[in-house]
Amino acid sequence: MQASFSRPAAATVLAIALATVGLGSAATPAAAATIPAGAGSYSDSRPAGTSGPTTNTGAPVTPKLTAAARDKPVPTNDWWTSLAYQRYGDNPYSTPMYGHPLTYQATSGGLEVGYPTNPAVVGDGRQYEYPHKADLTVGLSGLNSPDTKADDWSDWTVTPYWSDGARTLRTTIGHGMPFVYAKGSGGDARITTAGTPAVFADNGNVLGITVAGHHYALFAPTGSDWTVSGTSITAGLGGKDYFSLAVLPSTDALATYRKYAFSFVTGSRVSWESTGGTVKATYSLTTEAKEGTERGTLQALYRHQWLHTADALTPYTYVSPRGTMKVRESASFTTSQKNSGVMPALPASSGVDKARLTGYLNEVANASDPFSGASDTYWTGKALGRLAQLVPVADQIGQPGIRDKLLGLMKGRLQEWFTAGGASEFSYDRDWKTLTGYPASYGSDTELNDHHFHYSYYVYAAAIVAQYDQAWAADSAWGTMVKTLVRDAANPSRTDTAFPFLRGFDVYAGHSWASGHQGFAAGNNQESSSESINLSAGLVLWGAATGDTALRDLGSYLLTTESEAITQYWFDASQQVFPSSFGHDTVGMVWGSGGAYSTWWTANPEEIHGINVLPVTGGSLHLAREKAAIKRNIAEMERENGGPAVEWRDLLWEFESLADPAAAKSKWDAGNAGYSPEQGESKAHTYHWVATLDTLGAPDMTVSGNTPTSAVFAKNGVRTYTAHNHGSTARTVTFSDGATLSVPARSTATGTGTGGGDPDPDPDPSTGNTFRLKSGGVLTTATDGAAGADTVASADGVNRDGTPYKPTVYEVKNVDGTLATGTSTTFRLRVDAGTTVGLAPQVRVSYDLTGDGTFDRAETFRYFATDPVTGWEEYTQAVGTKSVTGSLGALRGGTVRLEIWNALNSGTSKVQTGTDGAVLKIPYV
């Protein structure tokens, strides 16, 4: 990001020998000055005259960890990082940490806990915040610790540690956790309140209090008793070492929360999969029963999570800077979203004048200095990104000479950085377990800021090179250095001892954080969400180009998740997040405590709005999902700016074209002659982008392909489908509306698709007689549920043709309808047998006309021959019926049931739910 005075630039050591492949950890040489990484290398010590992480006074600083955590890589850019990074020498505890719904700050006497519910608008109306204010402090009698250290952490939880020699205290806190779990020794449990508490329940070891208008429950071991004396509340632990507290949504929730008071959270973990155009993620907590046997818990889901889960939620809610949080009574939940596609470039279109575009391309390729004097990691990255956008464009219009010249420039500069000992290099810091590029910029070295921003450009550029030169991207060549940067900024491994898991990406918050020290009263922050997306898009393209499906799918998970967070928390697309007192439709920066209409370096509205757009790439298409929000965004920018964009007009034209291509093209036509491109842009790219979308229409985000490198555009009711195939054999891409597109090997294909939108025999999405399959065994006419997939059991090696065996069942009751003459049952299902051969999914649709429990009609369809290639396949009634029993008649309170099972072989398969590809249409009106 441009001038990010608070973002982290991760510098992570990667000990990889010449033969090392993949992203697995490798032994670090004991005292090597230069560490080989394929054809490249990095150093294990900083270049002379440079600095690593420091305090605010410039003194070197090392991680603040307990002995138990000392060898564990620290995820430096997180919501709780100030526990480990002592940025300010006079504060050895922490700055405020925003877990949501609770906020925290470590002090000498323990952990301050707050629940801010009233927003403040500050800075001339440019920032809203729910600032930390302690309602109470969790500690032990007499505790006076000289510091607080990080003792343990997992994907979204952390355990701070206090010790004063006589007493020790550990607390476990996390995102979405209404509980604080404490373990202490050497003193009684002590809760110090900010004001005299009002007691609303006193049941010995369970105490309900209200402080500052917020309700809390305190839980001591069975047999203990809380004593209230002014603002001090204590309880002897009776030889135990545990106690807990919870913030309650209301006083009548005490009984529910008491149930989980001693089910202590010990860890958190996310898992994800990207299959058939859907990204599914499961968020799980591990627990330990301190008393009894209860292992469940309560967790509060952010808006970007509960919008995309089909899991049951309680009526309980909390206030947060991210809007309403909803409570789930379980140790896990799953989200499901359509994959946000990434393209190497927009597809070819008739609206692009090739001669004009060639002229623009030559301006870049023949510039005296295509890198514009860039020397540090950020500005070098920006220049690499500018060139990378043009390579597939040049190839697309038949200019291989320009394409290869641009590729040569990119390779040369990447190789300079990927080789230790020159004017630019990457260096590993063993204390912080990070890889930093020197020359550094914007605190990427001294504050560990922005690594995901800076390195996103290198990964994306390398992915474009790999698309055209696979040998260059091999591990034995330059691929190992690319993967080293990935390990630093977005490591998918939890066992890698050289780099932390997903350094800056907060899996529960749904987005990345930029500051490496989190040393602010407002918590951590992220400004350029779009540069974070740039890394995810680079992972998708790199993984696809090199055949690394794990990295490709990691990129899909990160991009799809952060896209929804951006939609809700940066752009407030649903207008349900920003406080009503905040007079803006977007923010330039998201903070732990709220958001700000600002940037780190300017108050210029163009840059406040543009900073979450750049760089515009084939990974930016996700922004088109909320077209009304884009139009509000542009309108606000022009109001604040006193007119259309001038300084960053190209970025904002491209942004507007995602919602209103004609308006953007009109602005380009009127203003393209007299402007200087933004430094990551070029006239070639902007012209190609704006002209292409004006021709094909804006991205249609209601439809997705079953490969992450695909997209759909729509204009005047006509859809254009496109996909890139990085593989060595041709493939057919299937889209969620049923359209298919044949894509040759190592090529981009574009067309109107085949099979898409045909209403017969494929049913349309839900109407009164059309039902979607919903996970949990439901048929529903609702169209707003989350996409998902259910498992279809194995046939266990026996031929089950015609006879349901362990079927996955979907049902709807109390259905009324009149039989429509001349119609019949239709369905559209998406099934996937993975890599298993011939599982033969089979469907039976049954009708109980009166709801009396007896099915009057059963239609069994022929099974569907699946292929052994991972990806969704379309199964419809067009296969024909195998058998039909009974007769149809009027439905009066009737029941309709769909069963699907595997008829052959061994192995489970999947059936999609919650989408237009999971539909049953009955022959009734």
The structure tokens listed for 910 are: 């999947």
What does the alpha-carbon distance between residue 553 and residue 561 come to, in Å, rounded to a whole number? 12
Asked whether 651 and 589 are in contact (CB, 8 A), the reply is no
680 token code pair: 């990551």
Distance from C-alpha of 671 to C-alpha of 108, rounded to nearest angstrom: 60
Sign of the C-alpha dihedral computed for residues 592, 595, 596 and 599 taken in this order: positive
Residues 225 and 218 sit within 8 Å (Cβ to Cβ):
no
Q: Is 397 exposed, middle or buried (0-12, 13-18, 19+ CB in 10 A)?
A: middle
Return all residues near 548 (Cβ < 8 A) that are at least 6 apart.
542
Residue type, 82: S
Q: Which residues make Cβ contacts (< 8 Å) with residue 325, sequence separation at least 6?
A: 100, 101, 176, 300, 301, 302, 303, 306, 317, 318, 319
The secondary structure element, H or E, covering residue 266 is strand 263-275
C-alpha 445/C-alpha 456 separation (Å) is: 16
CA proximity to 847, closest of 776, 781, 897, 912: 897
Phi/psi of residue 680, nearest 5 degrees = -100, 5
Encoded amino acid at 453, one letter: F
Q: Is the peptide bond before 761 cis (omega within 30 degrees of 0)?
A: yes
Contact indicator for 553, 342 with CB cutoff of 8 Å: no
Other beta carbons less than 10 A from residue 530's beta carbon: 28
539: Cβ contacts below 8 Å, ≥ 6 apart: 459, 486, 490, 551, 552, 554, 555, 558
Identity at 582, one-letter amino acid code:
F
**Residues 760, 826: contact at Cβ < 8 Å?**
yes
| 142: nearest Cα among 102, 108, 172, 95 | 108
**Termini Cα distance of the chain:** 57
CA-CA distance, 673 to 653, in Å (whole number)? 14
Q: Which two tokens stand for residue 682?
A: 């070029």
Segment-wise mean pLDDT, segments of 10 residues, the chain, 925 residues: 34 28 38 86 95 96 97 96 96 98 98 98 96 98 98 98 98 98 98 98 98 98 98 97 98 98 98 94 98 97 96 97 98 95 97 97 97 97 98 97 98 98 96 98 97 98 98 98 98 97 97 97 98 98 98 98 98 95 96 98 96 98 95 96 95 98 96 93 98 97 95 94 96 94 95 58 54 92 83 92 94 91 89 87 95 92 85 85 92 94 93 90 92
Cβ contact 251:200 at 8 Å: yes
Neighbours of 501 (CB within 10 A): 20
Cβ 99 vs Cβ 79: under 8 Å = yes
Strand, helix or coil for residue 211: strand
Largest pairwise CA distance in the chain: 86
Determine the distance from the C-alpha atom of residue 638 to the mean position of all C-alpha atoms in its chain, rounded to a whole number: 30
Closest CA to 774 of 872, 908, 920, 893: 920
Rounded Cα distance between 526 and 542, Å, is 24
pLDDT at 392: 98
Tally of CB atoms within 10 A around 352? 20
Please choose, from the candidates 138, 135, 148, the residue with its C-alpha nearest in 3D space to the C-alpha of residue 189: 138
Choose, from 445, 531, 562, 585, the residue flagged as catalytic: 531
Element (H, E) at 210: strand 206-211
Q: Is 531 a catalytic residue?
A: yes
pLDDT at 845: 97
Question: How far apart (Å, rounded) are the C-alpha atoms in residues 444 and 449?
Answer: 4
Task: State both tokens at 5.
Answer: 């005075």
At 337, list the tokens.
């979203």
Catalytic residue among 450, 636, 700, 848: 450
Please state the length of the chain.
925
Known active-site residue 450: yes
Q: 492: number of CA atoms within 13 Å, CB side?
A: 21
Q: Which listed residue (151, 429, 445, 527) is catalytic?
A: 527
Token digits for 675? Answer: 């402007």
Classify 913 as helix, strand or coil. Answer: strand
| Ordered DSSP codes for 695-712 | HH-EE-TT--BSSSSEEE
Q: Which residue has the tokens 């491994």?
A: 493
Tell me the pTM: 0.81
Q: Rounded CA gap, 339 and 709, in Å?
A: 10
The separation between CA 279 and the C-alpha centre of its own chain, rounded to angstroms, equals 10
- CA-CA distance, 210 to 247, in Å (whole number)? 10
Distance, CA of 528 to CA of 535 (rounded, Å): 12
Residue 833 exposure: Cα atoms within 13 Å on the Cβ side: 26
Cα separations (Å) of 881 from 795, 824, 827, 838, 843? 20, 11, 12, 19, 9
The Cα–Cα gap between 805 and 808 comes to 9
How far is it, in rounded angstroms, from Cα 363 to Cα 725?
30
Give CA–CA dist 308/250, Å, rounded: 26
At 561 the three-state DSSP class reads helix
451-468 and 529-546 helices cross at what angle (nearest 10)? 30
Q: Is 160 exposed, middle or buried (0-12, 13-18, 19+ CB in 10 A)?
A: buried
Structure tokens at 205: 């070891």
Q: How far apart are CA 698 and CA 696, in angstroms?
A: 7
pLDDT at 915: 86
Q: Report the distance separating Cα 193 and Cα 234, nearest Å.
A: 11
